[in-house]
């Protein structure tokens, strides 16, 4: 959960540390790259690439720059396609692209801006002007990123909210269709939370929600997994490339971990509060199905776990479900 706390700390800053910005310079001209790099490296962290393949490689490593400087008419591949590719990917859509060209052509400029570029600079250029433009675009990106992140985080628990979960699920579902892989969801409900709130007060209830959120987040082991607050006392976990058996094992770890939290509080433990029921579902993504169907299945299994006595995991598989029964 540390990365989500960082967002809140960033929101309290009054200035922008633009010197830490990562700039990616793409140009297949061996003379231009050293010049641009020499001009900008003292003010920013720069990375140079000479081809579109270099860019794709960096993105495959999840190394996303804060700003891209690109000569759209000198790259071996069409630089405008690079710009469009960045804009079509949710992970890179907000990265500003500044295009630099050695000739002024209104048609080229229109194409560049239409493809998603934020600026079009003609050579020769003034160093102070290009730095001012870069700073302006970086500041705008910083603000947009901050607002985007804050809108995707639950203010109480500081983990992803339902909006972030829904967007990520759609993205992962499309990816699973392309790869022909499974995707799993865990619907988690805190047993007796309303009674807990009535008994101990909303302030203590809020603290308990934060403790559970921190616990669940800490149990995630893969970068692509995500736990989010779904609403009230409900949490949801997204597990890409995960079948039912593995999802069930993860759900059991979650159930046991939450149960341990309640046992640390003698009053809560004695009243059988602080446990959790979990619905587990997994599907192989296809174009004939939707991510919504997966959510419905997980919700149905959660209802089953509640009806069978709570504090258990249900997935619809008799052998697996019997393991979780008390």
Distance from C-alpha of 86 to C-alpha of 66, rounded to nearest angstrom: 12
List, in sequence order, every residue forming a beta bridge with 122; answer none if it has no partner. 101
Q: How many CB atoms lie within 10 A of CB 271?
A: 14
DSSP one-letter code for 288: T
Q: Which of 287, 258, 277, 286 is nearest to 315 (CA)?
A: 277
Residue 320, both tokens: 């697996």
* Active-site entry in 17, 233, 252, 259: 233
Contact 98, 118 (CB under 8 A): yes
**Which residue bears the tokens 């149990």?**
219
- Indicate if 233 belongs to the active site: yes
The string of DSSP letters for 197-257 reads HHHH-HHHHHHHHHHHHHHHHHH--STT-EEEEEETTEEEEEEET--HHHHHHHHHHHHHH
Cis peptide bond prior to 53, omega within 30° of 0? no
Distance from C-alpha of 251 to C-alpha of 272, rounded to nearest angstrom: 20
By three-state DSSP, how is residue 93 classified?
A: coil
Distance from C-alpha of 298 to C-alpha of 281, rounded to nearest angstrom: 5
Active-site residue list: 233
């Amino acid at each position: 959960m540390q990365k989500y706390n960082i967002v809140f700390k960033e929101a309290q800053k009054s200035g922008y540390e633009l010197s830490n910005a990562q700039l990616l310079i793409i140009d297949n001209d061996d003379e231009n790259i050293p010049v641009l790099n020499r001009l900008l490296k003292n003010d920013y962290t720069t990375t140079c690439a000479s081809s579109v393949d270099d860019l794709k490689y960096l993105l495959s490593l999840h190394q996303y720059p804060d700003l891209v400087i690109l000569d759209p008419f000198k790259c071996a591949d069409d630089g405008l396609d690079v710009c469009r590719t960045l804009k079509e990917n949710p992970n890179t859509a907000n990265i500003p692209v500044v295009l630099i060209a050695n000739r002024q052509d209104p048609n080229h400029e229109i194409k560049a801006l239409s493809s998603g570029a934020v600026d079009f600079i003609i050579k020769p250029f003034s160093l102070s002007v290009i730095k001012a433009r870069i700073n302006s675009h970086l500041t705008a990106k910083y603000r947009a990123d901050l607002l985007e992140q804050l809108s995707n985080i639950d203010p109480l628990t500081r983990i992803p909210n339902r909006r972030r979960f829904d967007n990520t699920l759609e993205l992962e579902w499309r990816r699973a269709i392309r790869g022909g892989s499974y995707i799993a969801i865990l619907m988690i409900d805190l047993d007796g939370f309303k009674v807990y709130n009535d008994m101990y007060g909303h302030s203590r209830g809020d603290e308990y929600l934060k403790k559970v959120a921190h616990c669940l987040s800490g149990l995630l082991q893969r970068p692509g997994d995500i736990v989010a607050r779904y609403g009230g006392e409900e949490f949801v976990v997204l597990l890409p490339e995960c079948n039912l058996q593995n999802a069930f094992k993860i759900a059991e770890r979650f159930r046991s971990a939450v149960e341990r939290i309640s046992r640390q509080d003698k009053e809560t433990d004695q009243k059988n509060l602080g446990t959790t029921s979990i619905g587990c579902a997994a599907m192989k993504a296809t174009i004939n199905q939707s991510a919504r169907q997966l959510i419905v299945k997980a919700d149905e299994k959660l209802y089953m776990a509640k009806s069978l006595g709570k504090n258990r995991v249900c997935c619809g598989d008799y052998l697996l479900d019997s393991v979780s029964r008390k």
